[in-house]
Structures are given as C-alpha cells and as structure tokens.
Amino acid sequence: MTAPAQATLAVSTVIFALRSDAESDFKTLWLPLVRRTREPFHGQWALPGGGLPAAEELATAAARTLRGTTGLTPKYLEQLYTFGDPGRSPGGRVVSVVYWALVESDEAAVAEVGDNVQWFPADRLPELAFDHNRIVEYALWRLRTKVEYSRIAHAFLGETFTLAQLHDVHEAVLQKALDPANFRRTIESSGTIVDTGERVAGTRHRPPRLYRYNDSVRAVDLGPLGPSIG
C-alpha cells in the first residue's frame, strides 16, 4: 500500500500599513504582495512567505521571508491563524502558518518595491494565489475587531502621539467616522494611554498634548511564551 503524501509546512505574512487613498475620506490599509515566479499560480500576486526549514522557529521564518521579499522588519508580528484545507494548493497539501504585521507609514515608505513586489489597498485586491484573499479578509476582520479594545493601534504610531493621531488611526482601520469627543472619553478612561506631560512643538495655536501607551499593557499578550523573534 502506498503511504499517503506528507503535508508541506509553510509560513506567510499579512503586512498592513496606513496610506492616503484618493477613493476614501480616510487613510486606508494597504499591504505588499509578491508576484509568483513559478507554478502553481505563476504570475499571480500572493502574500510574502515560503517554506519552513526543519530547524527554524515559526516566527523567525516569518520574519526572515518578510525581510527577504520586502525589506521590512516590523516591530509588531503576531501569529494570526493556520490555514490547512486539503484543496488550498494544487499538487499537494500545504499547511500555512500565517502571521500578521503592522508597520508605521515611514517604515512602509522604504519597503522594497518593483515588478515583483507592490502595495495594494487591502479592501480592493486582485484575485490572489491559493486562498490568500480569504487570509487577508480574516486578517482585516481580526484587526478591526482588536483595534477597539486593545493597544494594537500603537504599531501604526511612533512612541508618542496626539489623541488626534490615534483617532485618525482608528478611523482609518474601521473606515468610519468616530466622534472626537466620545473617542477621547473612551480612550482616556481605558487606562491604555498615559499623558507624557509634553506637547507638540512648533505649532502656531495651543499645542496638543503628547501621549504614550501604558507600558503595562502589551500590544500582544504572549503569556508565558515571551517574544519569539529578535
């Protein structure tokens, strides 16, 4: 009797950044895609990723493939989900452990782009290879769910920020208008941000206050595992 073929393990990464968009009243989420240079799905766009060497940690492999294809080294990298439907890859079963990353606009601006790496609006993607459209849809749902109750928006900002900047991030991710006064009350009562006592320098009118996130509240709760990549 012929032994069943073994599944191949791979890693992929969804990377979100905020960019201005002429078709939206808000900044919108964009992500880099890579063009496949071999079959299956030769010539189609796909998420950055690759195979998993036997001796490499999952998060390390995700960071390596991301850096190798886009040049990005995000400070926020979290495991999203494992996709392993038998029919997701023609020619053999591939189980993909998917990570997601969030990067600041300045970092996204220096990402490597070219004929085989380009940025696309996350809500208006072409037909991607494998089940990568479904993966992006799931990542968007997770991000939009988490931004309302966690400090995940920090990954799109610098170490300090104004409430207006934080408000803009939430509007961009959720793609809906948020009342500034209600947003301020909700954020200030959540305990996730701390007033630094400083204000933005160089503004003509009353300079806005600068805040930072409460260091006791992590963007990702890793529990006893701790960080797995350097």
Token output for 162 = 């104004």
Residue 185 sits in the same domain as residue 95? no
Considering the domain boundaries, does residue 74 fall inside one?
A: yes
Whole-prediction pTM: 0.86
Q: Any idea what the Cα angle at residue 74 is, between residues 30 and 54, rounded to 5°?
A: 110
pLDDT confidence of residue 26: 82
User: So what's the pLDDT on residue 54?
Assistant: 84
- What is the predicted pLDDT for the residue at 229? 41
Number of H helices, E strands in the chain: 5, 9
124 lies in the same domain as 156: no
Residue 35 sits in the same domain as residue 137 = yes
pLDDT by residue for the chain (230 residues), tens only, comes to 554 568 899 999 999 999 887 777 788 999 999 999 999 999 999 999 999 988 899 999 999 999 999 999 888 889 999 999 998 998 789 999 999 999 988 888 889 899 999 999 999 999 999 999 999 999 999 999 998 777 788 889 988 999 999 999 999 999 999 999 999 999 988 888 999 999 998 777 789 999 998 877 555 544 444 444 43
Same domain? For 128 and 192 the reply is: no
Predicted pLDDT of residue 214: 85
Do both 24 and 107 map to the same domain?
A: yes
- Count CB neighbours of 63 within 10 A: 22
Domain boundary among 112, 146, 180: 146
Residues 63 and 162 in one domain: no
| CATH classification of the domain holding 182 | 1.10.10.10
Q: Chain-centre distance of CA 114, in angstroms?
A: 21
Asked if 128 and 169 sit in the same domain, the reply is no
- Together in a domain, 156 and 142: no
Number of domains the chain is built from: 2
- Which residue range forms the structural domain that includes residue 68? 8-146
Burial of 31 (0-12, 13-18, 19+ CB in 10 A): buried
Residue 226 maps to a domain = no
CB 78 within 8 A of CB 100: yes
- Same domain? For 61 and 112 the reply is yes
pLDDT of amino acid 20: 82
Q: What is the chain's alpha carbon radius of gyration, rounded to the nearest angstrom?
A: 19
Q: What is the maximum alpha-carbon separation in the chain?
A: 80
Q: What is the pLDDT of residue 225?
A: 41
CA distances for 178 relative to 43, 45, 77, 174, angstroms: 40, 34, 27, 9
Q: H-type helices in 23-131, by residue range?
A: 58-70, 105-109
The Cα 214–Cα 217 span in angstroms is 6
Same domain, 158 and 118: no
- Decide: 112 and 67 in contact? Cβ < 8 Å: no
* Same domain for 177 and 157: yes
**CB 74 within 8 Å of CB 230:** no
